């Protein structure tokens, strides 16, 4: 895949980034370099390799899934600009 200047400008427009002519040419080269590297990765033989999320064999610590209120509602609202009891007070947004 090859990126041209019009594609760079389209990406910049979608990202709402202002790009001048010099930056567009620079980004074109950088994006093409990244895509060439990705194409090199596609050449690697991964047949028989298990997908992994981490390079070390780790298991996440599991805990019982319980619904709680945290046990400290006063501490939670302590830094709120305004609260009533253990509830946050917010401005009315619907008339």
Residue pLDDT, tens place only, 63-93: 888 887 788 888 989 989 999 999 999 988 8
**Residue 15 confidence (pLDDT):** 95
Comparing C-alpha atoms, which of 87, 59, 61, 62 is closest to residue 73?
87
Sorted by where each begins, the domain ranges of the chain are 5-42
Tokens 């997908």 — which residue? 51
pTM of the model: 0.50
Q: Topology of domain 5-42, per CATH?
A: Histone, subunit A (1.10.20)
Q: What b/e sequence results for 21-47 when a residue is b if at least 16 CB atoms lie within 10 Å of its CB, and e otherwise?
A: eeebeebbeebeeeeeeeeeeeeeeee
Q: pLDDT tens across 2-37, in order?
A: 899 999 999 999 999 999 999 999 999 999 999 999
Q: What is the mean pLDDT of the chain?
A: 90
Which token pair is 23?
């930056």
- In angstroms, what CA-CA distances link 39 with 27, 51, 76? 18, 19, 50
What does the pLDDT read at residue 6? 93
């Amino acid at each position: 895949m090859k990126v041209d200047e019009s594609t760079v400008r389209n990406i910049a427009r979608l990202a709402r980034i202002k790009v001048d002519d010099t930056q567009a040419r620079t980004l074109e080269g950088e994006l093409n370099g990244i895509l060439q590297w990705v194409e090199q990765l596609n050449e690697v033989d991964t047949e028989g390799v298990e997908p992994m999320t981490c390079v070390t064999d780790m298991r996440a610590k599991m805990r019982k899934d319980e619904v709680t209120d945290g046990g400290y509602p006063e501490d939670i609202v302590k830094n709120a600009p305004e609260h009533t009891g253990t509830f946050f007070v917010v401005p009315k947004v619907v008339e």
